[in-house]
Amino acid sequence: MHHRDLNLLVALDVLLEEGSVAAAARRMNLSPPAMSRTLSRIRVAFDDQIFVQAGRRMTPTPRALELQQQVHAVVAQATGLFRNDAHLDLSRIRPVFTIQADDLFLGTLGAALLERLRAECPGVTLRFISHDRHDDVSLSLRERHADLFIGAPLPFKPEIRTQSLFTTGFRGFARKAHPIFRQPLTLERFVQFDQISISRQDRYSGAIDEMLAARGLTRRIVLIVPTFFTMIETLRSYDLIMLMPDIVIETLPHREIGLRAFELPFPSAPLTGLQAWHPRNDKDALHRWLRRTVRELCLQMKNKHPALSAPDALNE
């Protein structure tokens, strides 16, 4: 009988989840070369490249995407054999989870997370608290002000645990009647229109403005706000444009509300979302259930909207 190394499934699950060899290596306490060798063994085991070169990135093959949910389910089920979760009766408890998150996650997935949690635990309550740029999220998690953080990567304290959830690109967003849609979009046309900028920082410009400045161009920022969702109604009524994450565009009924997305005439850096928690909750059965549900919801979202999966490239 030919025995397969089931540890390869664990490694494949981590690679698909983390999105890079380096991140997967850190999580599995391996060196990057050792993780690369493991990837080579995975390719042999599945008789598939699993990840292929696409420019400077490596992206998952159709076979890898097909395997992703199945592999995760098998690994989760096997891992569950070592957990003492048998006593956890979700139908009988009424937990309250406090999640610190920005409007990007809350607006796109907050209600979906509640629905998914209540399907197993009808008595659950979610309490979302805001995330301000001055907040010390590590301290918030350490002092139990929040059970979980969901948002963009931050300079966490070394003890804080993190897990990648999704990577999203950006597109432009404007009302359907906006003049930007009348002609093909170039950089020169892009900077002619009044724009909304999202910033929680004291600075009002970023990488895009630096790229434009190098080409002798400056965009016309007329409105600066701290969050994406506050501007949805404004976009419907005025000739303004705004860069919006794909995760928002794909979950909004933008056609019904009179908005339209457009491809940007330049490459933009992707935005990564993660969840973070204090290590005291690593082995807590209820907290593990919450984290697992968040992760599975994001995985389902990526499979439903392939555009969100594309930036999850594997960098070697």
pLDDT in tens, 86-142: 567 898 899 999 999 987 788 888 999 999 999 999 999 999 998 766 679 999 999
| DSSP code string of 190-251 | HTTSEEEEE-SSS----HHHHHHHHTT---EEEEEES-SGGGHHHHHHSS-EEEEEHHHHHH
Say if residues 277 and 148 touch (Cβ distance below 8 Å).
yes
| Domain 170-262, architecture per CATH | 3-Layer(aba) Sandwich (3.40)
Altogether, the residues listed in the chain come to a count of 316
CATH code for residues 90-160+273-309: 3.40.190.10
Between strands 96-101 and 259-262, the pairing is unpaired
What pLDDT is stored for residue 180 in this prediction?
A: 96
* pTM of the predicted structure, to 2 decimals: 0.68
- Residue 134: how many CA atoms within 13 Å on its side-chain side? 1
Percent of the chain with pLDDT over 90: 42
Between helix 103-120 and helix 285-304 the angle, nearest 10°, is: 120
The CA-CA-CA angle for residues 257, 263, 267, to 5°, reads 140
| Domain 7-80 -> CATH class | mainly alpha
Q: What does each C-alpha distance from 76 to 41, 69, 73, 133, 162 come to in angstroms?
A: 21, 10, 5, 35, 18
Give the mean model confidence (pLDDT) for residues 269-276.
90
Q: What amino acid occupies position 81?
A: L
- Residue 193 pLDDT more than 60? yes
Residue 148: alpha-carbon gap to chain centroid: 15
Q: Rounded to an integer, what distance in angstroms lies between the CA atom of residue 167 and that of residue 311?
A: 6
Q: Confidence class of residue 310 from pLDDT cuts 50, 70 and 90?
A: very low
Domain pair 90-160+273-309 / 170-262, same fold? yes
CA-nearest of 268, 276, 130 to 211 is 268
Give the best-scoring range by mean pLDDT among 112-126, 151-165, 198-212: 112-126
Q: Rounded to an integer, what distance in angstroms lies between the CA atom of residue 107 and that of residue 98?
A: 16
Residue-wise pLDDT tens digits, 49-66 = 988 877 666 778 889 888
CA-nearest of 140, 141, 164 to 291 is 164
Q: Rounded to an integer, what distance in angstroms lies between the CA atom of residue 195 and that of residue 243?
A: 9
**Domain layout of the chain by residue ranges:** 7-80, 90-160+273-309, 170-262
Q: What does each C-alpha distance from 46 to 5, 43, 78, 182 come to in angstroms?
A: 12, 5, 20, 48
- Residue 309: how many CA atoms within 13 Å on its side-chain side? 19
What pLDDT is stored for residue 81 in this prediction?
A: 65
What pLDDT is stored for residue 312 in this prediction?
A: 36
What pLDDT is stored for residue 55 in this prediction?
A: 65
Q: What is the mean pLDDT of the chain?
A: 85
Phi, psi of 128, rounded to the nearest 5 degrees:
-95, 135
